[in-house]
Chain A
């Protein structure tokens, strides 16, 4: 990996200052660079699981790395929900008693992330900010669309793990397992930047390639996610992942379901699919179908069919439609039993 200087930020202000363009960088710097396909010259590091891999493969080669692992690492209760520090380790989230009780869909997803070592090192914020796993993006030899090149190699190439929704022009699937249940729970991200802090609805945080080709979300290079804020959950919720390997893998398709109940009837639902599109893929048509229903096998099947109705697979990933359908159906049934 390329050499870089290292700054250990002990609070948000320091982190934002250290990530901001300095006068020596000249005008434009990070913002302009990020919009032109060049990676920012200053990047934050928390667990480092994703970033160090990117740097070793020369996908990202910053001049400065700013440690933000010292920022808030606590999980606090508030407003009927939880406020999770972005620097909380995934293992700590998975073991947190209140999180386990309140947000089973999130905890299931956290338990499925990577391996024990990755969960011990990786942070909640890092999982949300994780870069795509697309093998063309991760390979230095392929100057793909996302890296400022002129084509997406997945279109005519090996695309068995790529998107079945979204229609490109970049066909990644979003790699975050935690973002899927966070959106299902109606969570928000607290973001710190040069103008202070703001909160962004998790459902509006992620961006499709036609809105932001070189990044996956609305965050500017000198902004950091500091907290995940979850409102009170619905009475029932669950996640279901289908994977190629039981460990050390990203799901082929996943689904998180959060249900507000009125007795045994669903009052309102949120259904979000993961690993099927460049962003966590919320399916409101399927959500509406659940309202007013009691969950049965037949209802879950109909909802799952509706969830994948708009899928447009590539040459080698048609099979993912059935897998996504199964993930939704099983997540709905699991939430119904919860």
Chain B
């Protein structure tokens, strides 16, 4: 069943490619109709996607419905960010894109192309932890660890934008992430411990 679906979509894709060629050749076609025909329809089967994660380019084929988080975890073995709620409610999947935090569970992989995506996997330098990672260890900023990669990325994004946050600013910057073990105080201490320190 699934096999059949993909084959159909490939046919659709080939048809679309044909239409693009004919639309550009015809000058009599109405502008709206041409706009409609010239638009590339991708999927619903797998389409080639290129993702730049932690400075490395990855080429893969995924359906348009695959989220960035699932593409990273199940296709690319980049498993640092965790899949917990999958609804943009917990923050465990937080990545940094162009300096800002994003829930990678709530973004399609196909829409993450051309962006520099950073995950917790890219923070450490060999066996030397990133200062934020080290601060989490030093300040009891984790227990079970599921929320930790998201919290670390949110903290990194905060400190790169504002190296000396007040406790209020840090709380606000980290309030898109949840910890059910209750390490929030440790996380806040960690975020403030790297205050003004060297990063990255």
Contact = CB atoms under 8 A, between A and B. Distances in A.
Interface string A96-117: 0000000000000000001111
21 contacts: A3-B9, A4-B43, A5-B9, A6-B43, A6-B108, A9-B39, A14-B36, A45-B111, A49-B103, A52-B67, A52-B88, A52-B106, A69-B111, A91-B100, A114-B176, A115-B175, A116-B172, A116-B173, A117-B103, A247-B176, A248-B89
A31 interface: no
A13 B173 contact: no
Contacts of A246: 175
A14 B108 contact: no
Interface of B: 5, 9, 12, 31-33, 35-36, 39-45, 47, 63-65, 67, 86-89, 91, 94, 100-103, 105-108, 110-111, 154, 172-173, 175-178
A69 B102 CA distance: 15
Given A14-B39, A52-B105, A116-B154, 5 more contacts: A5-B9, A64-B41, A116-B172, A117-B102, A247-B175
A248 B64 contact: no
A121 interface: yes
A53 interface: yes
Contacts of A14: 35-36, 39
Contact of A7 (B40, B65, B86): B40
Contacts of A52: 67, 88, 105-108
Nearest to B34: A17
Given A6-B110, A22-B36, A53-B106, A117 B44 contact: no
Interface centre among A14, A48, A52, A117 (most CB of B within 10 A): A117
A5 B175 contact: no
Closest 10 CB pairs of A and B: A115-B176, A6-B64, A247-B175, A17-B36, A3-B44, A117-B176, A120-B100, A5-B43, A6-B42, A116-B176
A9 B106 CA distance: 20
Contacts of A35: none
A117 B35 contact: no
Contacts of B32: 13, 17, 194
A53 B41 contact: no
Contacts of B106: 48-49, 52-53, 121
Interface in A1-47: 1-9, 13-14, 17-18, 20, 22, 45
A7 B5 contact: no
Contact of A18 (B36, B47, B105): B36
State the main secondary structure of chain A at its contact with B.
mixed
Contact of B88 (A6, A53, A65, A247): A53
Contact of A65 (B64, B172, B175): B64
B12 A116 contact: no
A18 B36 CA distance: 6
Contacts, number: 117
A67 interface: yes
State the main secondary structure of chain B at its contact with A.
mixed
Interface string A245-288: 01110000000000000000000000000000000000000000
A91 B98 CA distance: 13
Contacts of A299: none
A9 B39 CA distance: 7
Interface string A41-71: 0000100110011011000000111010100
A71 B85 CA distance: 30
Contact of A121 (B31, B103, B154, B177): B103
Nearest to B176: A115
Contact of A5 (B44, B89, B105): B44
A294 to B, nearest CB: 34
Contacts of B65: 1-4, 55
A231 B86 CA distance: 39
Nearest to B33: A17
A250 to B, nearest CB: 12
A120 B39 CA distance: 28
B14 to A, nearest CB: 14
Contacts of A64: 41
A311 interface: no
B85 to A, nearest CB: 10
